[in-house]
């Protein structure tokens, strides 16, 4: 389900201002606006206008404001949805991919997730100030997702066993948020991280 964080029932994401469940067309507009906002933020940064988001979504500005009365509400919705997708990728990998492929794919997605946040960091900080639980709950979900894919790879003997998900996040997270990091650099550095995650193979000494 898109946009849920711990402690929030999924149906709460799709409610009108008076707490009635959204109609199907309103729900489609909500999702279209979140997707549009993500693209507009990526293209224009966090300072993009509400009008640009509505235009990208193909709806009127009034529709946008009915769902998101304030700009910060749009930012929060995009962030929630991004976290939801990232956690969902971990669950998908655990079912559909091999242990190493699931770990590698999730870390690649995490790097892309972090890079995308750099375009609206100021707005995200404002959202965290407005809703202090948002950051901690989302961080907890992301760390838990990392632990799941790492633990599976470790159990399969495909990742070193002397680290945990929090160690891995401490290593990768600062790289993701570095404003000067290019896409190519990110890929090279992640390849180094992945190499370091491989289990150590005892060296055979030839007499």
The enclosing domain of 151 has a CATH number of 1.10.357.10
The per-residue pLDDT for range 66-79, each reduced to its tens digit, is 999 988 899 999 99
Contact 146, 90 (CB under 8 A): yes
Q: At what angle do helices 165-177 and 183-197 cross, to 10 degrees?
A: 160
- Backbone dihedral region for residue 118 (phi beyond 0: left; psi -120 to 50: alpha; all else: beta): alpha
| Whether this model's pTM surpasses 0.85 | no
Q: What's the sign of the alpha-carbon dihedral 91, 96, 100, 104?
A: negative
Mean pLDDT for the chain overall: 83
The per-residue pLDDT for range 4-52, each reduced to its tens digit, is 443 343 334 444 444 445 566 777 888 899 999 999 988 888 788 899 9
Residue 205 lies in a domain: no
> What pLDDT, on a 0 to 100 scale, did the predictor assign at position 13?
44
CA distance 193 to 98: 19
The per-residue pLDDT for range 118-129, each reduced to its tens digit, is 878 888 888 888
Percentage of residues in the chain having pLDDT higher than 90: 54
Q: Which residue has the higher pLDDT, 206 or 34?
A: 34
- The DSSP string of 35-82 is HHHHHHHHHH-TT--HHHHHHHHTS-HHHHHHH-SSHHHHHHHHHHHH
Number of separate domains in the chain: 1
> What pLDDT, on a 0 to 100 scale, did the predictor assign at position 21?
54
Residue 25 lies in a domain: yes
Residue 102 lies in a domain: yes
How open is the CA angle 67-69-73, to the nearest 5 degrees? 80
pLDDT mean over 139-154: 95
Contact 87, 145 (CB under 8 A): yes
Residue 144 lies in a domain: yes
Residue 70 lies in a domain: yes
Residue 72 lies in a domain: yes
Residue 172 lies in a domain: yes
Instruction: Please state which of the ranges 26-40, 134-148, 158-172 shows the lowest mean pLDDT.
Output: 26-40
Residue range of the domain that includes 35: 10-197
Residue 2 lies in a domain: no
């Amino acid at each position: 389900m898109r946009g849920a964080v711990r402690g929030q029932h999924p149906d709460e994401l799709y409610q009108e201002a008076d707490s009635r469940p959204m109609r199907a067309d309103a729900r489609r507009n909500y999702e279209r606006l979140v997707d549009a906002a993500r693209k507009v933020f990526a293209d224009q940064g966090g300072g993009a206008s509400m009008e640009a988001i509505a235009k990208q979504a193909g709806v009127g500005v009034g529709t946008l404001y009915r769902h998101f009365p304030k700009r910060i509400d749009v930012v929060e919705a995009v962030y929630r949805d991004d976290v939801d997708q990232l956690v969902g990728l971990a669950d998908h990998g655990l079912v559909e991919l091999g242990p190493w492929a699931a770990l590698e794919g999730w870390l690649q997605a995490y790097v892309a997730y972090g890079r995308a946040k750099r375009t609206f960091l100021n707005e995200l900080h404002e959202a965290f100030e407005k809703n202090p639980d948002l950051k901690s709950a989302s961080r907890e979900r992301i760390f838990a997702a990392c632990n799941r894919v790492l633990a599976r790879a470790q159990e399969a003997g495909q990742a070193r066993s002397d680290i945990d998900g929090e160690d891995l996040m401490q290593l990768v997270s600062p790289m993701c948020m570095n404003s000067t990091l290019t896409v190519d650099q990110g890929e090279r550095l992640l390849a180094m991280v992945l190499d370091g995650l491989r289990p150590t193979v005892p060296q055979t000494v030839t007499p």
